[in-house]
Amino acid sequence: MFPVDPSASLSLEIGFGGGEHLAALAKARPDTAFIGAEPFINGIVSLLRHIDEQNLRNIRIWPDDVRLILDDLPESSFTSVYVMFPDPWPKTRHAKRRIFSPSMLDKLALCLKPGGSLRFASDHPVAKSWLLAEVLRNSAFSWTAQSAKDWRLRPSNWPQSRYMMKGEHEGRASSWFDFKRN
């Protein structure tokens, strides 16, 4: 499937949007294989453009909702999972559409290797609180933050995306969350 060592790291980005974050990760880590899951054609086309322009060979695309394949993925297959700025679905009646449900987190925990990373970011106040609370409730994950700066400042190894820069320009404060799989 990938022209990289089969024992190499495998990472997943859920909802890669325009693909800037995923492409930057793939370029910086050529020995890591990446799967990007995105149901929207505009995002897929944008990522394909990045792949072509940067000659990236370590990305594969799942062109649909990641929840359709999680049950079929081998346990402990990923070293990291990224969910960058998911749709906040801020209204209570839309809560079932949010990406981090208890069952979704359980599936992600099974797919992550012990010690693997679940990384997510948000600039929406309701989404930040809700996402953080959902992951903290799941005993499979431990939050790595030691101080407020660990979640208030973008880690230098987390590439920027167009959406991220737009949010900063509009004055939205982002938060960066890094959890380890127990």
Q: Active-site residue 178, yes or no?
A: no
Whether 62 contacts 35, CB under 8 Å: yes
Q: Indicate which residue of 5, 64, 87, 106 is catalytic.
A: 87
Burial call 64-101: b when 16+ CB within 10 Å, e when fewer: eebeeebeebeeeebbbbbbbbbebbeeeeeeeebbbe
Phi, psi of 114 (to 5 degrees): -55, 135
| Alpha-carbon separation of residue 106 from 86, 89, 145 (angstroms) | 18, 21, 21
Residues that are catalytic:
87
